[in-house]
Amino acid sequence: MARSKQPIKITWLGHSAFHIESPGGKSILIDPWIDNPKAPAGFSKDAKVDLILISHGHSDHIGNAVEIARKSNANVLAIFELYLYLRSQGVQNAIGMNKGGTIEVDGIHVSMVDAKHSCDIDVNGSVVAAGGEAAGFVIRFENGRSLYHAGDTSLFGDMKFIGKLYAPEIALLPIGDLYTMGPREAAMACELLKPKTIIGMHYGTYPVLSGTPQMLKRYLHTKMKNRVVELTPGVVFAC
């Protein structure tokens, strides 16, 4: 198989949590709230994890990151203020970064990009620390292919530059509405980003997160409708 065609294996763990196996076999977790109501049975918090990305300080995104990071010794990437919090929680391998920056970890390049959302760190219903700002990530895998996880965000015009600069082939976009973009806003985000594969997230966890991939398709241009892939939590999607 040509190196550039080696698959990216994406498993939705419910909400905004994803497990990704890179083409080079690295195990990556994004926003690992493994205890979410839609999480599939069978994903072990003891799994081998090389890298954890956390988009912002809300508890539905930090999720089980501290516990998993302590067990796995995975590198954890987060915005600087969230990194300080993670260090205070005993996460030794946390790495602070900020928007516009790119870091290489084990041959995988991760760029932190903007997101428009609140981000204070909440634990058990109270804000415990300031979280800096909410962010998104673009991952460039070992074979040059790329994926964008938007975190929690509204639509914003600079997504156009994320599309232009990083050309993410796969976009993971919140579509649930209320706390993030809904399907209509996400459809416009797709016009700015021009991804080949579009995956909705942050929907269906609770009834209030009411946007769906079907609704997203309705708002998309005809030529983009068939790019939407509806994932089932726990089922690997290789692309």
**Residue ranges in contact with Zn ion by CB under 5 A:** 58, 152
For Zn ion, the closer of residues 152 and 185 by Cβ is: 152
The secondary structure of 91-138, three-state, reads CCCEEEECCCCEEEECCEEEEEEECCCCCCEEECCEEEECCCCCEEEE
Q: What is the DSSP letter of 151?
A: -
For Zn ion, the closer of residues 15 and 58 by Cβ is: 58
Give the nearest distance from C-beta 41 to Zn ion in angstroms.
Answer: 25
Give the nearest distance from C-beta 57 to Zn ion in angstroms.
Answer: 8
For Zn ion, the closer of residues 114 and 152 by Cβ is: 152
For Zn ion, the closer of residues 19 and 117 by Cβ is: 117
Give the nearest distance from C-beta 47 to Zn ion in angstroms.
Answer: 24
Q: Whose CA is closest to 211, among 162, 178, 188, 164?
A: 178
Give the nearest distance from C-beta 16 to Zn ion in angstroms.
Answer: 8
Length of the chain: 239
Give the nearest distance from C-beta 118 to Zn ion in angstroms.
Answer: 7
Give yes or no for a contact between 198 and 216, defined as CB atoms under 8 angstroms apart: yes
For Zn ion, the closer of residues 59 and 73 by Cβ is: 59
Nearby residues of 152 by Cβ (< 8 Å), 6 or more positions away: 16, 55, 56, 58, 61, 115, 117, 134, 174, 179, 180, 202
Query: What does each C-alpha distance from 205 to 13, 113, 234 come to in angstroms?
Result: 11, 25, 14
